[in-house]
Amino acid sequence: MELNIGMIGYSFMGKAHSNGFRQLPAFFPELDVKPVLKVICGRDRDAVQDAAQAYGWEACETDWEKVVARDDIDVIDICTPGNLHLPMALAALKAGKHVICEKPLANTLEEARELLAAAANTSKKTMVAFNYRRVPAVALARQLITEGRIGEIYHWRAVYLQDWIIDPDFPLVWRLEKDKAGSGPHGDLNAHIIDLALHLVGDIDSVVGADTTFIKERPMLEAVDAGLGAKGGKTMGRVTVDDATLFLARFANGALGSFEATRFAAGRRNHNRFEINGSKGSLAFNLEKMNELQFYSRDDEDHIQGFREIIVGEGNQPFMSAWWPPGHIIGWEHTFTHEFRDFFEAIAKDEAFSPDFVEGTKVQAVLEAVVDSAKSKAWMDVPRV
């Protein structure tokens, strides 16, 4: 079966998704779906043309509504800033397409609920691109939890740390503008670790958080591009999102969790790490060593107890039989191929896919409760989805 893809957006995520699609037929030939890279869309004609050529798309387009309106497109893949997710995903669902949407699903809970209602009205599949669920080591962590190997979960402890805007002269890119991005590292990075927490631990009942914006003004992007420098008064613009957001959470199953997302952790480029402590053992994962999973088991005999480092590269571990011989490690880009593999299989077999717009909305509910809590300086219940 062929599935024709129309992708909107062509920069970082567009490149990652294109590569993810392209690897599928070669590495997962048993999957009876071949994605066809039909059309890629972006506003800048020259740039989108270059992207189409570089990433292997048949055609390019500058008007996303035309892509959504095409009868020959089966799947719309949205890789744009968050403010465009709502109109694009709504239109795609209305046009009867399956929808892949980059994270977070929307910029507000209200928008996410609108998308959820639209998704509930179709038989088409939806996906929110929380790719870290499909790092093989994370999938193995989930398997070990399901097998009961760490017992009842007491603690979730996660950080997602970056440092790419620590320089005050770094320009005011769209990710620092609330009307486009919705929030800063909260929606960009906490969204990932919230999704992992919901996936690995369970639903979150209530949260208490704090956020801050360390650098409140930055040089406008045009000014920097034009070489005007960072400090020229009228060339400065206001940062309207958080620079860091931290929160505590109470899970429905009684576990207690902590979350931290920042773009000001000097030296931490993409440090997505969690640890889970249970009654029978612990698990720890760090994306920067993504082929490894740390596992401590209280069932081990006393004299050999200690964290063991599982190199997740064996053919009997999640996703790994598709790639290389044992120990031949894989990388960040493989997570996209994995999520598309599972999504297309769900389409082909008409089975449920996770995370879909329901789970994307659940993440949004946690994000919003944290923002409300930071404002009110009080614990907030997470709205039910």
Q: Rounded to the nearest whole angstrom, what is the least distance from the CB of residue 302 to ligand SOE in the complex?
A: 40
CA–CA separation, 52 and 99 (whole Å): 20
Q: Rounded to the nearest whole angstrom, what is the least distance from the CB of residue 212 to ligand SOE in the complex?
A: 17
Nearer to ligand SOE, 195 or 368 (CB): 195
Residue nearest ligand SOE, CB atom distance = 188
Helical packing angle, 12-27 and 45-55, nearest 10°: 20
Q: Rounded to the nearest whole angstrom, what is the least distance from the CB of residue 253 to ligand SOE in the complex?
A: 27
Q: Rounded to the nearest whole angstrom, what is the least distance from the CB of residue 187 to ligand SOE in the complex?
A: 9
Instruction: Please report the DSSP string for 268-310 in residue order.
Output: -SSEEEEEEEESSEEEEEEGGGTTEEEEEETTS-GGG-S-EEE
Q: Rounded to the nearest whole angstrom, what is the least distance from the CB of residue 31 to ligand SOE in the complex?
A: 24
Q: Rounded to the nearest whole angstrom, what is the least distance from the CB of residue 189 to ligand SOE in the complex?
A: 6
Nearer to ligand SOE, 99 or 153 (CB): 99
Tell which residue, 186, 207, 241, has the closest CA to residue 378.
Answer: 207
Nearer to ligand SOE, 235 or 335 (CB): 335
Q: Rounded to the nearest whole angstrom, what is the least distance from the CB of residue 366 to ligand SOE in the complex?
A: 16
Tokens of 342: 């599972």
Nearer to ligand SOE, 128 or 255 (CB): 128
Nearer to ligand SOE, 13 or 68 (CB): 13
Q: Rounded to the nearest whole angstrom, what is the least distance from the CB of residue 104 to ligand SOE in the complex?
A: 9
> If you search the block for the tokens 């005011």, which residue do you land on?
172
Nearer to ligand SOE, 111 or 188 (CB): 188
Q: Do the beta carbons of residue 161 and residue 265 sit within 8 Å?
A: yes
Nearer to ligand SOE, 272 or 282 (CB): 272
Q: Rounded to the nearest whole angstrom, what is the least distance from the CB of residue 116 to ligand SOE in the complex?
A: 21
Nearer to ligand SOE, 124 or 218 (CB): 218
Other CB atoms within 10 Å distance of the CB of residue 19: 15
Rounded to 5°, angle at Cα 159 from 195 and 170: 105
Q: Rounded to the nearest whole angstrom, what is the least distance from the CB of residue 1 to ligand SOE in the complex?
A: 29
CA–CA separation, 247 and 375 (whole Å): 12
Other CB atoms within 10 Å distance of the CB of residue 263: 25
One-letter amino acid of 223: A
Tokens of 12: 């970082």
Most distant CA pair in the chain, distance: 67
Nearer to ligand SOE, 212 or 270 (CB): 270
Tell which residue, 75, 79, 18, has the closest CA to residue 50.
Answer: 18
E-strand spans in the chain? 2-8, 34-41, 59-61, 75-78, 98-101, 126-128, 153-161, 204-212, 217-219, 236-238, 244-251, 256-262, 271-278, 281-286, 292-297, 308-311, 380-381
Start-to-end Cα distance in the chain: 34
Residues that bind ligand SOE (CB under 6 A): 12, 162, 188, 270
Nearer to ligand SOE, 12 or 324 (CB): 12
